[in-house]
Structure 1
Amino acid sequence: MEESNNYGHQHPLLLVLNQEQLINYGSGVADCSRCGEKVSAPCFCCVEHCGFYLHKVCAEAPLELNHPFHPHHPLVLLQEPPSSYTETGCYCNFCGKTCEKFIYHCSCKLDFHIKCALFTFNIAENNLKELEHVALQHPLVFTENGDEELEDVAKCFVCWEPLAKYTHFSPDCGFNLHEKCAKLPFKLNHVCHRKHPLVLQFNSEELPCKVCQETGQINIGFVYGCSPCNFSIHIECVSPSPIIEDKSHQHPFSLILRQAPFICDACGTEGNHAAYACCTCNIMVHKKCISLPHIIKCRWHHHPVSHTYFLHKEYFGRLDCMICHIEVNTEYGSYYCVDCNIIFHVNCATRYAAFFYVVSPENEDEKHLDISLNSITSVLERNDAGEATIIEHFKHNHYLTLSDEIREYGNKCCDGCMLLISDSFYYCSVCEFFLHKACAELPKMKPIWNHSCQLATLVLTSDNIFRCEVCDFLSNGFAYKCNECGRHMCLRCQALPPDALSCPGHEHPLLFYYEFVGRCSACGLDIKQGFSCKDCNYSVDLSCMLLPTRVSHKCDEHLLALTYHEIHDYSKHHYCDICERKRDPKRWFYHCTTCDTSAHVKCILGEYPYIKTGSIYKEGDHPHPLTFVKKIQLYPECTKCGEPCEELALECAEPECNYLVHWKCMNPFVSGNRFLEHLDF
């Protein structure tokens, strides 16, 4: 052992040269104070035995590292991750694990543990002598036997593919390499890129592989690339298979390496450098498109759709993709429904795993949910036109009668969708129960396109109270509940179509875009998903599209209508009659034409617009039934917090019991609607 400088530590340090000396010095399971890994010799130990240890490699790590795999900028050694990472966290771009202290950092958001940066540096420099503890061991590693001790070493740290049975493996530092990956050349020439040699490097630009077109696991492992040309090839794609056979196609595909671009006959997008051709069928495809599923069930359509390499155009007009709404070139591959004349770009339909599932050939003719056998009503009487005039609904105890007397009942809410009665409806003559005809005729079970569980069929329910997964409002109306994830979707949201939707505030139909960048014309907030017009700059997010068109509020004796365009052109009318603050005349608002009352959407709706007052709340520990109430006169005190009950509250139904509690006091962990929290119109 020899004494050394203290590397910023308050006590002198001793250099321990071998593991036996380290054990004699008294170190059992200590960690290196820089890399956080279990300490091993050679290392530095504190002479005062205060628990400070440093691997020799970590102690001598340079403050700046010019890494061959990242030649653009030097990597700077930092004691802690940059402050901008506080929310997202800092992760090593080599091993993918969290970086907590002493990291090598680059301004282009590349970060590495000390050990990862130095390890890869030695690989790049072909300095295998420094890796003797890794490269000279050849244990037998069975990754398929489920050995818990090998869970973290199941993949190679270079190509990030599963380890073969024989591998270079170090139990001390945890690095694992295929033997072939430890001996990869730093540079090589490739027929797909003749301008420059390809260099082994990190894929920090997240470039897709020019051979397979896949990005792979972002920022993990290495690729061969040419930085000046933004060119990247996965290690396993450097020598692609010359012939590929796949059960989805009856003939084998042969590899064609060339630098000229081509259009893939399977997906209709451009490819470069490597194509696979079937000479029998005269088609040329990307490697990844060889195994495209023949039939899939896509979220946006209720029938399975089949992959086809081309469609005879004389039978069709313009066909737009149901997802991106851009025209599909029918001379190339697409997914198509013959029955409905619905089409999808291949890459749109299969972009995310949650968008589709594969229909196996034996299930091609599977029967879909028959709504006629899935009715929630029993018809007791019909009129001469065949309409059901008296029904029995499975969620109500009394018979319901059909009516169209909207003037008489127009201030009542439908107990299904919680909106004001606006169309033909059923009512109960015994109690205050109303259902729109459309809500009463909904099936008991249905698949819903904008629910994320692929194979789920949601079941109609009337749980006590729920939060809708789409609009985020609390409601005690009807909902569809997923038996897989348990989430609810209210009747308003389940009715949203995946295609064109008319909006009273705009002359053109609006199309749904799963990914959208823009601002909502109704509220002015940024949109991530929503409905937009292809003809003009008009977009509406999901929450605004679902706003009720008519509402009642104590500020006016009449119903207020959702208004899309300012009806006054002078500024004194641009104020809310409820909060008395200024309104943005470009944003939607509620208005009464009779009284000239105008108000913000947020002020009219309040936090709980879809909770029906007078309905029973069946949860909680109070011994008597509780009913929902709003704005009780004289604002009595809450039994729990003592504050006045000005908003939604629960009141005991027993006349002699004075129990009254805020809804928020009863449910302190149920937050408000995220949409309303950010709304300012």
Structure 2
Amino acid sequence: MEELKNYGHQHPLLMLNEEQLIGNGNGVVDCSRCGEKVSAPCFICVECCGFYLHKTCAEAPLELNHPFHRHHPLLLLQNPPYTFEPGTRCICDFCNETCEKFIYHCSCGLDFHIKCALFTFNIAERNLKELEHVALEDPSFSSKNDGGNLGKCFVCWEPLAMYTYFSLDCGFNLHKKCAELPPKMGHVCHRKHPLLLQFNSERLSCKICQVTPDRGLVYGCSTCNLAIHIDCLSPLPVIEDKSHQHPFTLFWRQIPFICDACGTEGHHVAYACCTCSIMVHKECISLPRIMQHAWHNHRVFHTYFIHKEYFRSLNCIWCYKVVDTEHGSYFCADCNVIFHVNCALKEKEWYCIVTQENEDDKSLDIPVNSITKVLERNDAGEATLIEHCKHKHYLMLSDKISEHGDKCCDGCLLLISAKFYHCLRCDFFLHKSCAELSKIELIFDHRCDEEHFAGLKPFILTSDCMFECELCTYLSNGFSYKCNECGIHRCVRCVFLQFEVKIPGHKHPLLFYYDYKGQCSGCGTDINKAYRCKDCNFGLCLYCVVRLTRVGHNCDDHPLKLTYHKINDYEKYHYCDICEEKRDPKYWFYHCETCDTSAHVNCVLGKYPLIKLGSTYNERDHPHPLTFAKKFPYYPKCVECGKPCEDLSLECAEPGCNYIVHWKCGK
């Protein structure tokens, strides 16, 4: 045992070696400074008050002039010098773990565990004797690793695989090459001054890859306010990728360049294909050649150059800014659709890469029409009499809105307009566009479970059940597209909603912005995705974009139109004619110009605007067919709960059977 010392403790401390520590019989104890398990040599309080110190923690200097942080000293503090909000923590800038006890702190905001500060100090001082007790291991030896996953190096934070590394008892892993990095080096990417190995105290982004490292070491130049990842200083000299027919060769650049693959700026490290005369970022060498994107029905192809005359519009369909065709883009030549490369790749859940094995398979691009058979055509070649896969009788084409203008399409549940098909034997109507829907749609951004991403999934057109749309959340008994794997439904209105829509009453088209934050101009709710006008301050949430523009209601004999402007400036007219409460003139309402009727949107639509009254419901255990009904005279009582039926209900269609039940009670 060595002589008694205090090391800042109120009682004398005694140093123990490994044999003495085991013989002391205190089991597993933690160091009172670093909080880690104590190992010999260590100090123990002679008064047995439970105070233990690693020898290295006891002898740690109160002020450390660290070679990786030359501007200020690191001061040893008993507690972090911060007042934190609830839930926030002090994080070590080397290992990225929480600092709870003694830490080394710098006035510029750097914080380190004692062990991290001293370990990096030994690396900086080339004091590799501190690592002599650690065996060099072959990273291919994976018996102590789950699946051979060897973790990452604590200096460069790159994977340890394919390198020899140190594995320290204190939990550090290092590449051998990182333990032996030179503290100072000259480099072709920065010839003005030498680069010094250091902590990234100013949180600078890497000058080469533009990523901001949140831990580990970098090479930096304080004079030029510059930081570079260790790994970025030694890129591969030649890279080959199957997406391009020629190899790319490393080309150091002293000035910025524009990447020919993505059209954005690059710094220092470029890769050139001299055969094709193109220069790209390292990461752009392996860009997907073909992808299926959620915002377009067909596949889009990457190219380095496009002739402008091939496109009517060069606006990217994600950000709606012009694409420079002198640089790379993703495009569909058939549909005049184009993306910036970074816009197409911005959200991983919105696209999937088409591999070489299936890039020639065009079968998924061919829609299967829901019209089973065309029986008659007019002189213009238009189908006038058809068989449809979702109806048992023939359907006839008509444009007689005056006779059927109050009827709803059984596909989308909107009022009939323009040309439509109708059944001469029953009350069945379909817009021409709804009759021509495809039987199968490949829908993107769909998860069949929470464990894995499902990618493109086939959705089947169905019409034989009640459903709640996954997107707009409306309950409906019209047509839907259903995923047979998980059972979710999407209504036909949401499936075919375009990323550019025209709203009656607004002179400009509305464009879908994925990351817009603001307030809906239709209903006033806060939104983080919107259909927005580029030219004026007008944006709509998804619910307002799919609002019924014409709807019938028993408050008026005429269809009510969704209205977007003030009908009357007099305040006394700003009332709802259904609930008789005030309405805000800034937001949308339904209006009849003939009768001057105005009403809140929700008062007109109610809870079930997309359920066709009079249609049959077969999912109830009753001997006769049930139909949807609403607003009965004398409000008959529900057979289940005994309360009056005032809203959507199911009634028996059989004469003499007085069965009636609330929809909520009957489902």
The TM tier, using the shorter chain, reads 0.7 to 0.9
Unaligned runs of 5+ in 1: 667-681
Identity %: 55
Contact 1:320–1:343 under 8 Å retained in 2: yes
What displacement does 1:376 show? 2.7
Aligned match of 2:595: 595
Matched, 1:504 2:498: no
Q: In structure 2, what is the Cα distance between the partners aligned to 1:178 and 1:83?
A: 37
Paired AA for residue 259 in structure 1: Q
Alignment of 1:630-641 (within 5 A): none
Output the TM-score relative to the length of structure 1: 0.76
Q: Is the 8 A contact 1:203 1:219 kept in 2?
A: no
| Distance in 1 separating the partners of 2:357 and 2:176 | 43
| AA in 1 matched with 2:599 | A
Q: Which amino acid in the other structure matches residue 178 of structure 1?
A: H
Q: Which amino acid is 2:372 matched to?
A: S
Q: Residues 393-446 of structure 1, C-alpha deviation per residue, up to 9 Å, x if partnerless?
A: 434455545444444444443333232333444445666544333222211112
What's the CA shift for 1:565?
1.1
CA 1:459 to 1:546, structure 2 compared with 1: closer, same or farther past 3 Å?
A: same
What is the letter of the counterpart of residue 306 of structure 2? L
Report the secondary structure of 1:369's partner residue: helix
Secondary structure of the corresponding residue to residue 235 of structure 2: coil
Contact 1:475 1:608 survives alignment (8 Å): yes
CA offsets per residue over residues 325-356 of structure 1, 9 Å max, x none? 22222222223333334332222222333343
Letter in 1 for 2:370: I
Does 2:576 correspond to 1:570?
A: no
Match of 1:583 in 2: 583
Aligned to 2:451: none
Q: Give the direction of change, closer, same or farther, for the CA distance of 1:104–1:661 in structure 2 (3 Å limit).
A: farther
What is the deviation of 1:493?
Answer: 0.9
CA distance in 1, matches of 2:468, 2:131: 54
CA shift in 2, pair 1:93/1:652, >3 Å: farther
Instruction: Quote the Cα distance in structure 2 between the aligned partners of 1:109 and 1:465.
Output: 62
Change (3 A) 1:263 1:604: same
Ranges in structure 2 where 5+ consecutive residues have no aligned partner: 448-453
User: Corresponding residue for 1:670?
Assistant: none
1:102-141 matches, within 5 Å, as 118-119=115-116, 122-123=119-120, 126=123, 136-138=133-135, 140=137
> What do residues 94-130 of structure 1 show as CA deviations (whole Å, max 9, x unaligned)?
6677x69779899999998x75x75266325647899
Paired residues of 1:590 and 1:600 also in contact (CA < 8 A): yes
1:378 to 372, 382, 388: 372
Contact 1:574 1:583 in 2 (8 A): yes
Is residue 539 of structure 1 aligned with residue 534 of structure 2?
A: no
Does the aligned pair in 2 maintain the 1:301–1:449 contact within 8 Å? no
Task: Judge conservation of contact 2:378–2:384 (CA < 8 Å) in 1.
Answer: no
Code of the aligned partner of 2:282: K
**1:200 equivalent in structure 2:** 198
Q: 1:567 to 1:111 in 2, by over 3 A?
A: farther
Quote the Cα distance in structure 2 between the aligned partners of 1:368 and 1:562.
41
Q: Is the 8 A contact 1:650 1:662 kept in 2?
A: no
Determine if contact 1:376/1:444 at 8 Å carries over to the other structure. yes
SS of residue in 2 equivalent to 1:497: coil
Give, as a single letter, the amino acid of the residue that structure 2 aligns with 1:167. Answer: Y
Shift of 1:309: 2.4
Counterpart residue number, 2:167: 169
Conserved 8 A contact 1:16-1:22: no
Q: Does 1:561 align with 2:561?
A: yes
Asked if residue 234 in structure 1 is aligned to residue 235 in structure 2, the reply is: no
Per the alignment, residue 489 of structure 2 pairs with 488
Residues 375, 387 of structure 2: 8 Å contact kept:
no
Q: What residue in structure 2 maps to residue 470 of structure 1? A: 471
Q: Secondary structure at the match of 1:343?
A: strand
Range that drifts further, 37-46 or 328-337: 37-46
**What is the aligned partner in structure 1 of residue 450 from structure 2?**
none
**How many pairs are equivalent?**
650
1:225-258 deviations in Å (ceiling 9; x for gaps)? 4578664422211122233333333433333323
Matched, 1:530 2:527: no
Equivalent runs, 1:282-297 vs 2, <5 Å? 282-297=277-292
One-letter amino acid of the structure 2 residue matched with residue 560 of structure 1: L
1:438 aligned counterpart, secondary structure:
helix
Give, as a single letter, the amino acid of the residue that structure 2 aligns with 1:477: G
Structure 2 counterpart of 1:292, which letter? L
AA at the equivalent of 1:136:
H
Asked whether the equivalents of residues 253 and 278 of structure 1 are also in contact (C-alpha less than 8 Å), the reply is yes
Q: TM-score, normalised by structure 2?
A: 0.77
Q: Work out whether residues 122 and 128 of structure 1, in 8 Å CA contact, stay in contact via their aligned partners in 2.
A: no
Provide the secondary structure at the position in 1 that maps to 2:134.
coil
The separation in 1 between residues aligned to 2:21 and 2:504, in whole angstroms, is 78
Give the Cα separation in 2 of the matches to 1:161 and 1:509: 47
1:479 matched to 2:474? The reply is no
CA contact 2:297–2:365 (8 Å) conserved in 1: no
CA distance in 2, matches of 1:443, 1:434: 17
Would you say the 8 A contact 2:41–2:54 is kept in 1? yes
Q: 1: CA distance between counterparts of 2:284 and 2:254?
A: 19
Asked if the contact 1:222–1:235 (Cα under 8 Å) also holds between the matched residues in 2, the reply is yes
Output one character per residue of 1:2-51: Cα deviation in whole Å (capped at 9) or x when no partner.
9989999xxx9998956666666666677889988767667899999999
| Cα distance between partner residues in 2 of 1:399 and 1:109 | 79
Superposed counterparts of 1:301-320, under 5 Å: 301-313=296-308, 319-320=314-315
Structure 1: distance between partners of 2:63 and 2:592: 68
In the aligned structure 2, how far is the partner of 1:295 from the partner of 1:505? 39
**Preserved CA contact (<8 Å) 1:255 1:276:** yes
What is the alpha-carbon distance in structure 1 between the residues aligned to residue 278 and residue 475 of structure 2?
A: 53
Which residue pairs with 1:281 in the alignment?
276
> Is 1:354 paired with 2:349?
yes
Show CA shifts across 1:346-400 (max 9, x none).
Answer: 222223333433334454432243656x233323632434544554443445554
Identify which of 328, 333, 338 aligns with 2:328: 333
Tell me, in whole angstroms, the C-alpha distance in 1 between the residues paired with 2:153 and 2:32: 26
Pair 1:182 & 2:179 matched: yes
Q: Quick one: distance in 2 between partners of 1:630 and 1:3?
A: 89
Mapping 1:597-636, distance limit 5 Å: 597-612=597-612
User: Cα deviation per residue 1:121-141 (whole Å; 9 max; x = unaligned)?
Assistant: 632564789998977322646
1:497 shift after superposition: 1.7
CA contact (8 A) 1:265 1:285 kept: yes
Counterpart for residue 414 of structure 2 = 419
Find the residue that maps to 1:489 and give its secondary structure: strand
**Which stretch of structure 1 is more off in the superposition, 239-248 or 34-43?**
34-43
Please name the residue that 1:258 is paired with: 253
Residue 259 of structure 1 and its aligned partner are, at CA, apart by: 2.7
